[in-house]
Structure 1
């Protein structure tokens, strides 16, 4: 019988494959090595192939799509309920094959090589930023052991530590001064790496039309815009802006039962990096609104009723919905768009 659906449990070297026919009966159970994947699916009739959205999933999805197969990526948490018994590669492949056939299943958009490349820049920059913060904290902590307190902020370290090392009145010995100088050199190198990666990201941003459109939204800069475009991919895979905000994790969690609706804090689902960028951008919008001569009526009214952190998340949520609208409709951001639409209504 013809194989209609195949589930693949991805790995580094050993791949479990499970296939079913049009009646849902298992007709294929196979274990393949990495070098056997391409020949096997080249000779396999065109079918639906399901995989978990994990390491190397987008690479294999692009390769299988080029062979004519319909590839669908599923988030791992949506596959887990379909694992019937103990976890192993064969059971995972069967669960993926079952999950991909569900009519209400949510799928992950397949990323292009360009999208993965710019996201790699973001991930590398994020790693350098964390290392830079850790290095700054270590320097500040070591100096604190000798009674020297340096204010928070990398700029304060760069300005203040050289003077401390040159000061002969403090009790720092020569070996410790050399150690701090070595750590400061490492800190400066990490900062240089961060700035170089930011330059590459901004260069990509300037050459991408969609990213430039998103950067016109208050609270979204080149870093956030490029990360959004590369991560979201096809925004039309979301039915509306609320779905995108929920996917990023900017909507309340629910714990409702018996007709009683209970809304908790934000769900924090989806991409932590995107959510962090949007919330930091929302904080910048709020600080700018405090200095602006003409207040934003919606933001000012919300601040009168809610906590500052709640308002920050609300601004980030609103920006996520605006991003969806701009990407799906191909429009430019207009500050007075909502006001014009409201005025047009009878």
Structure 2
């Protein structure tokens, strides 16, 4: 008998619902959110499992890996799609009802699977997010110091990062009470800067040793941060049948509204990987607006788009095209072609 399983995962416990081929509930139970406990329950129930589904979330990569190692047919389902289908059940929201709904989705095949990233990709992503968090907090501390000191007529002005602390101490030198308040803030800023530097050097070392990142960096506008972000987001390039699908993955494709006689675009979708989208946008912006950037066919194409549609739309268009180009470079194992002449000669 073929069985289908729905897992509603929380931090401590997971609601498990097992249904048969006609939708009848076989087992409903809560177990600890541990791969071993889930596997033990499923082994105890027995039977031939068709699909085991759970929602994408912070614990999904860990649980999917554990269940997959036990040779169980586990599927990770896209969050928005699952939420819409569970809402259509018109029942009170509970862990039990959610697990039932997921089990029925697995039974009828009404789900949208998502790619579960590898452990190496998760580690790269954690490095990127940790580095960005420290960078944001560092800038927040500096901005707060600048703003509060300005209330007393003390202006930090334009200063290099290395000279910021000295400049602030110089300004509050004649204000003992301000100096006492500013001191701890500067200490926190110094620690944040030191640890940010540690993570940034770690990022540079990782990129230096990765042949894929080095190849991606041959493209204009792509530096170490963009390359590693792209590497972590795509993870396995073969999961995209066509390179043009990467633009949609980053939320850089137009969102279309169509109903009856109505049919128009409302800008980009902004769905998918937000970090990938923002870094590609920054790379495209640097490519088009940086005066010292090396000329390439991609920049020339972006400038033509800017003349027709404006710079903002041109940056989005270049970011989308850059996502496609980087994927093709990765798959073909080729560096960026600065002119189109080699491609034209090959055809």
Q: TM-score, normalised by structure 1?
A: 0.87
In the alignment, which residue of structure 2 is the partner of 1:98? 104
Question: Are the aligned partners of 2:302 and 2:315 in contact in 1 as well (CA < 8 Å)?
Answer: no
In the alignment, which residue of structure 1 is the partner of 2:180? 178
In the alignment, which residue of structure 2 is the partner of 1:237? 239
Judged with a 3 Å threshold, the aligned counterparts in structure 2 of structure 1 residues 88 and 127 are, in CA distance, closer, same or farther, namely same
Deviation at 1:25, TM superposition (A): 4.0
1:307 to 307, 310, 330: 310
Question: Are the aligned partners of 1:150 and 1:157 in contact in 2 as well (CA < 8 Å)?
Answer: no
Deviation at 1:164, TM superposition (A): 5.1
Judged with a 3 Å threshold, the aligned counterparts in structure 2 of structure 1 residues 201 and 294 are, in CA distance, closer, same or farther, namely closer
Aligned residues: 339
In the alignment, which residue of structure 1 is the partner of 2:163? 159
Deviation at 1:239, TM superposition (A): 3.0
Alpha-carbon distance in 2 for matches of 1:135, 1:220:
28
Q: TM-score, normalised by structure 2?
A: 0.87
Are 2:145 and 1:139 equivalent residues in the alignment? yes
Deviation at 1:141, TM superposition (A): 1.1
Is there any run of 5+ residues in structure 1 with no aligned partner, and where? Answer: none
Alpha-carbon distance in 2 for matches of 1:73, 1:304:
44
Q: Tell which deviates more after alignment, 137-146 or 210-219.
A: 210-219
Question: Are the aligned partners of 1:46 and 1:68 in contact in 2 as well (CA < 8 Å)?
Answer: no
Deviation at 1:87, TM superposition (A): 1.4
Is there any run of 5+ residues in structure 2 with no aligned partner, and where? Answer: none
In the alignment, which residue of structure 1 is the partner of 2:196? 194
Judged with a 3 Å threshold, the aligned counterparts in structure 2 of structure 1 residues 23 and 141 are, in CA distance, closer, same or farther, namely same
In the alignment, which residue of structure 1 is the partner of 2:71? 68
Structure 1 moving runs of 4+ over 6 Å? none
Question: Are the aligned partners of 1:248 and 1:274 in contact in 2 as well (CA < 8 Å)?
Answer: yes
In the alignment, which residue of structure 2 is the partner of 1:318? 321
Matches within 5 A, 1:237-276: 237-276=239-278
Deviation at 1:88, TM superposition (A): 1.1
Are 2:51 and 1:48 equivalent residues in the alignment? yes
Deviation at 1:338, TM superposition (A): 4.7
In the alignment, which residue of structure 2 is the partner of 1:38? 39
